[in-house]
Amino acid sequence: MAQPKVVFAGTPEFAVSSLRALVDSGTVPLAVLTQPDRPSGRGKQVKPSPVKAYAEQCGIPVMQPHTLRDAAVVADLEALQPDVLVVAAYGLILPQTVLEVPRAGCLNVHASLLPRWRGAAPIQAAILAGDGETGVCLMAMAAGLDCGPVYASHTLRIGAHETAGELHDRLAAAGAKLLVDRLNDIVDGRLAAIPQDESLATYAGKVTGADAALDWRRPAADLERCVRAYNPVPGAYFMLDDARIKCWRAHCTDDNSAAPGQVLCAGRDGIVVSCGEGALALTSLQRPGRRAVTAGEFAAQFDLVGRQL
């Protein structure tokens, strides 16, 4: 069976899993679309995206347009005559002119069980909402936000203490496997896509740094999910004096004997902070410019008990 002619579009590490799976299966893309190189890290050095780095390692031609609404970019894609355009966390909107280029359409690897959690941050949204499960979908792309019909999906349970970073890696691997398992059937028309139920649609907006601030007036269970959802990016945080302290791990406790934000106790088992309901034991923290430390190490540096955060 001839391998389908694929163009791949993706940018972050999540997308590398799908690109690698295609290459390993023998379906090497004709070209890769990825976002332009941008400054990143503390030094703000301009670096290629993870997808670009992997594509160049494999010798795959890379295209980095700032927009897909450029007629010249569309013409370049048309010249490749792809059967399918596979998209995974690309980050640019595909206009109708691009959606119409591949013979079998455009296929999106999406990290949720659509129609739940359409949008930019489905992994964080699932954890924040306390969902017991999530998954990946192969969706036929259409005009609109993640609203196309779904070819296939795979469900994963969300661990009780799982962070967004840990769930991201499992979903990336599951999406890559689903893609290579079903791609030929989709391109050859042997697998029908099922329309989404619009009445069940929910949306996951882009995460900002402000979203990750811990509001002690909220229930401890909500804040524990915030810590998990924003690990590793952007990192849940609270203010101690003028320092932004990031919290990487925490768990709920029953103690709720003080005003929200008051430190009830601090030691090697956790720095326990009273919340609107219950309390949160912070177990891994990080000061600006420092490494992450245990609660015991952090508590030894400050007189915390009774302080209002």
What is the CATH number for 198? 3.40.50.170
Residue-level pLDDT at 274: 95
Query: Domain boundary at 204, 229, 259, which?
Result: 204
Residues 200, 230 within the same domain: no
Residues 216, 190 within the same domain: no
Residue-level pLDDT at 1: 58
Whether 304 maps to a domain, the answer reads: no
Rounded mean pLDDT of 212-230? 97
Residues 190, 260 within the same domain: no
Residues 54, 189 within the same domain: yes
Residues 35, 125 within the same domain: yes
Work out how many domains the chain is built from and give that number. Answer: 2
- 285 pLDDT higher than 70: yes
Whether 230 maps to a domain, the answer reads: yes
Percent of the chain beyond pLDDT 70?
Answer: 99
Domain that holds residue 254: 209-299
- Find the CATH number of the domain harbouring 269: 3.10.25.10
Spatial separation of the C-alpha atoms in residues 88 and 85, rounded to whole Å: 10
Percent of the chain beyond pLDDT 90?
Answer: 89
pLDDT digits (tens, 9 = 90+) for 79-115: 999 999 999 999 999 999 999 999 999 999 999 999 9
Residue-level pLDDT at 278: 94
**DSSP assignment string, 263-288:** EEEEETTEEEEE-SBSEEEEEEEE-T
User: By 3-state DSSP, what share of the chain in percent is helix, strand and coil, each rounded to 5?
Assistant: 30, 30, 45
Query: Domain boundary at 204, 233, 260, which?
Result: 204
Q: Of 132, 133, 137, 155, whose CA–CA distance to 147 is shortest?
A: 137
Residue-level pLDDT at 269: 85
Spatial separation of the C-alpha atoms in residues 133 and 157, rounded to whole Å: 4
Laid out side by side, the sheet with 150-157 consists of 62-63, 31-33, 6-10, 84-88, 106-110, 133-140, 150-157
Spatial separation of the C-alpha atoms in residues 203 and 2, rounded to whole Å: 38
Whether 308 maps to a domain, the answer reads: no
Residues 268, 172 within the same domain: no
What average pLDDT does the chain have? 95
Residues 90, 70 within the same domain: yes
User: pTM of whole model > 0.85?
Assistant: yes
Q: Within the chain, where are the H helices?
A: 13-24, 50-58, 71-80, 96-99, 122-128, 164-187, 220-229, 295-299
pLDDT digits (tens, 9 = 90+) for 23-60: 999 999 999 999 999 887 677 788 999 999 999 999 99
Residues 176, 237 within the same domain: no
Rounded mean pLDDT of 68-86? 96
pLDDT digits (tens, 9 = 90+) for 127-143: 999 999 999 999 999 98
Residue-level pLDDT at 255: 72
CB-count burial class (<10 Å; 0-12, 13-18, 19+) for 110 = buried
pLDDT digits (tens, 9 = 90+) for 148-197: 999 999 999 999 999 999 999 999 999 999 999 999 999 999 999 999 99
